[in-house]
Amino acid sequence: MKQLVLVLGDQLSTALSSLRDADPASTRILMAEVAAEVEYAPHHAKKLAFVFSAMRHHAAALAKAGFAVEYVELDDPDNSGSLTGELERALKRHGDMPVRMTCPGEWRLKTALESWSDANGIDFGWVDDDRFLCKVEDFATWAKGRKTLRMEHFYREMRRRHDLLLEDGEPAGGRWNYDADNREPLPPPTARPTLPQPMHFKPDATTREVLRMVRSRCPDAFGDLEPFWFAVTPGNARRAFAHFLKTALPLFGDHQDAMASGEDFLYHAVISIYLNAGLLDPLECCRAAEDAWRNDAAPLNAVEGFVRQILGWREFIRGIYWHYMPDYAEQNALEGDLPLPGFYWSGETGMKCMAETIAGIRRNAYAHHIQRLMVTGNFALIAGLEPKAVCDWYLGVYADAYEWVELPNTLGMALHGDGGVFASKPYAASGRYIQRMSDYCEGCRYDPSDAVGEHACPFNYLYWDFIARQRQRFEKHPRMAMIYRNLARQDPQRVQRMRELAAIARRDLDAL
C-alpha cells in the first residue's frame, strides 16, 4: 500500500520511527521549507540556515537509500507557504493515499495537522517519536498523583531505567548528583588554560546555496548569518561530539556554571542543536560520556553533569511540555507585563553581562544554560517582562530552540511564570551572583557592590524590588524565608531608594 510520509526539519534522524519499517518502493517522502515555519518566530539567520541545510542533506541521504523524496525549497515559485498546503499539493499530484508522520515536537503543529486532516477526511496516522528516552505516556504515569514534579526524582528513575552510571544498581561514586561540585568560576585569564572551541565545519555547496537563499529571502533575520560553522549531517555531528569528549568534557563539570567575557562556549558541548534536530542520538551520547568516565578519560562529576542535562533535564522538560499543554503557554503567574527591551535584539546596553551574552547570541545563535537562565532570563524575571514576548525571543534566537524545549525552560525555569510547576523557587539573583560566576563586572559601567548609588547595578535594585513586589506570594516560601528576613533587616530608606530606582528603570529599560 502506498503512503506519504511527512518529515519535519527537526526529524532528521536516520532511524526516524515513521520510516523505520517503510518500504522505499511504496513510500513517498515529503519535506518542505515553508514560509509559515520561517515566520512563526523571529528566527536567527544561522538557525534558518542550519535547519534548511540539514534538511537538504537529509533528503539527499533518504534518496540515496532508495526513497522517492519530494523536496520543496523555500524559493520554489509554487511553494504554498505552509506544511498543510504542501501536503495538499502532494496528494493532488499523486492521488489519495494515507499520510504518516512521526509526532511533531510542537503542540501547534500537531493540532494544525490534526485539524487539517479531520477537515479534509485524510487518513492521517501518527507514530510515536521514540528518539526520546521517555514516552509522553510514561511521563504522565510518573507525574500522576505527585504533589510536586522535581527533575531529580525523575532523573534517578531514568538512570535506573537505562542503566547509566550505576554500579551494582547504585549510583556511581555513591551520589546521584554532583551539581554542588560543578560551580567553580574560571581562573583569571593569566592563569587560565586555552579554552577549547567546538568543532567548526566549512560550508559545502549545499550549505552555500542555503546561505545565499537565507541572505536573499530573510535579509532582516536576527543575528549573524556568517561565518556559518555548524555540522549539517549526522556524520559531522558525531565528529563534533567526539571532539567535545576529547577536548572539553574533562573540565565541563567544574566550570559548567561559569561565564567569561569574550568566551562563548567555555567547556560546553554545543550539541543541543544536533540532538534537537535529530542528527545525534541522546542515549548514544550518554553512553559515550559514561565510557569516557569508565576509561578514566573524564571525571565523574563532569560525566554525571553531562548525562543529567540529557537523560534528566531534556527528557523532563519535554514531559512537562506535553503534560501541561496547551494551557501551559498562557501562564503568567507573576504578572509580568513589560515589553521586551530593544537591547535583547541589539545588545546595546551598559550592562556588560547582558551585552556580552547577547553579542554571543547574535554571533552564534547560542548561549550556554547559565547565560540563558541567570543573565537574560534573570533580568527578564526581576524586571517583570511579559512572558509571551520573552518566550518568543528565546524560541527565535537559539538554533536549538523548539517549543517543547524552549517553553518550559523559559516560562517555568527562567520566569517562574507557571507558578512553580517544577521549579522550587524563582531563579532570581542580584549582580553579586554574576560577579561571582563571571568576569563580566570588570569594566562594566555599573558596580555590582552598589544598589543605591550613582553606579548601582540594575540587577541589584531590580532584584530587591522583585523580592518586595512579590512578598505576598513568596514570603512564607521555605526556600525564600531567609531572603525576606534579609529584606526586613535592611534600612527602610535604602529599600525605598532601590524601589525608586527600579521604578525609574522599569519605565525605560532601554536606558540602562
Long-range contacts: 361-364, Cβ < 8 Å, 24+? 361/44, 361/223, 361/397, 361/398, 362/222, 362/223, 362/224, 363/223, 363/224, 363/264, 364/46, 364/264, 364/399
Q: Which of 127, 144, 165 is the last residue of a domain?
A: 127
The answer to whether the beta carbons of residues 387 and 468 sit under 8 Å apart is no
335 lies in some domain: no
C-alpha cell at 41: 518566530
216 lies in some domain: no
217 lies in some domain: no
Please provide the size of the chain in residues. 512
Regarding whether 406 and 264 lie in a shared domain, the answer is: no
CATH code of the domain in which 150 resides: 1.25.40.80
Report yes or no on whether pTM surpasses 0.95.
yes
21 lies in some domain: yes
State in Å, rounded, how far the first CA of the chain is from the last one: 63
Other Cβ atoms closer than 10 A to 180? 8
Regarding whether 151 and 123 lie in a shared domain, the answer is: no
Regarding whether 112 and 55 lie in a shared domain, the answer is: yes
The answer, yes or no, to whether the previous bond of 227 is cis (omega within 30 of 0) is: yes
Residue 286's SS3 state is helix
**Closest Cα partner for 268 from 186, 339, 329, 335?**
186
338 lies in some domain: no
The separation between CA 222 and the C-alpha centre of its own chain, rounded to angstroms, equals 17
Interatomic CA distance for residues 5 and 12, integer angstroms = 13
Q: What is the pLDDT of residue 192?
A: 87
Regarding whether 412 and 310 lie in a shared domain, the answer is: no
As for how many domains the chain has, the answer is 3
Residue 337's SS3 state is coil
Regarding whether 369 and 448 lie in a shared domain, the answer is: yes
Q: What strands, in cross-sheet order, belong to the sheet with 68-72?
A: 68-72, 27-32, 3-6, 99-102, 124-127
Q: What is the pLDDT of residue 182?
A: 85
Interatomic CA distance for residues 230 and 120, integer angstroms = 39
CATH code of the domain in which 53 resides: 3.40.50.620
pLDDT in tens, the chain (512 residues): 699 999 999 999 989 999 999 999 999 999 999 999 999 999 999 999 999 999 999 999 999 999 999 999 999 999 999 999 999 999 999 999 999 999 999 999 999 999 999 999 999 999 999 999 999 999 999 999 998 999 999 999 999 999 999 999 999 999 999 998 888 889 988 888 889 999 999 999 999 999 999 999 999 999 999 999 999 999 999 999 999 999 999 999 999 999 999 999 999 999 999 999 999 999 999 999 999 999 999 999 999 999 999 999 999 999 999 999 999 999 999 999 999 999 999 999 999 999 999 999 999 999 999 999 999 999 999 999 999 999 999 999 999 999 999 999 999 999 999 999 999 999 999 999 999 999 999 999 999 999 999 999 999 999 999 999 999 999 999 999 999 999 999 999 999 999 999 999 999 999 99
435 lies in some domain: yes
177 lies in some domain: yes
Regarding whether 379 and 312 lie in a shared domain, the answer is: no
Other Cβ atoms closer than 10 A to 120? 12
Q: What is the pLDDT of residue 189?
A: 85
Interatomic CA distance for residues 275 and 400, integer angstroms = 8
183 lies in some domain: yes
Regarding whether 316 and 283 lie in a shared domain, the answer is: yes
Mean pLDDT computed over every residue of the chain: 96
pLDDT tens digits, one per residue of 283-297 = 999 999 999 999 999
Regarding whether 384 and 310 lie in a shared domain, the answer is: no
Residue 325's SS3 state is coil
Q: What is the pLDDT of residue 348?
A: 98
Q: What is the pLDDT of residue 190?
A: 84
Q: What does DSSP say about strands 166-167 and 170-171: parallel, antiparallel, or unpaired?
A: antiparallel
The answer, yes or no, to whether the previous bond of 42 is cis (omega within 30 of 0) is: no
Q: What is the pLDDT of residue 30?
A: 98
Q: Which of 75, 109, 127 is the last residue of a domain?
A: 127
Interatomic CA distance for residues 137 and 143, integer angstroms = 10
The answer to whether the beta carbons of residues 52 and 214 sit under 8 Å apart is yes
C-alpha cell at 417: 511564570
Q: What is the pLDDT of residue 338?
A: 98
DSSP 511: G
Regarding whether 297 and 252 lie in a shared domain, the answer is: yes
The domain containing residue 355 runs over which residues?
343-511
Cα-based distances in Å from 301 to 61, 398, 459, 462: 38, 27, 31, 34
Regarding whether 308 and 160 lie in a shared domain, the answer is: yes
Q: Which of 100, 127, 154 is the last residue of a domain?
A: 127
Regarding whether 364 and 319 lie in a shared domain, the answer is: no
Regarding whether 374 and 434 lie in a shared domain, the answer is: yes
C-alpha cell at 177: 548528583
Q: State the DSSP H helix or E strand holding residue 393, giving kind and residue range, or none if neither.
A: helix 387-397
CATH code of the domain in which 434 resides: 1.10.579.10
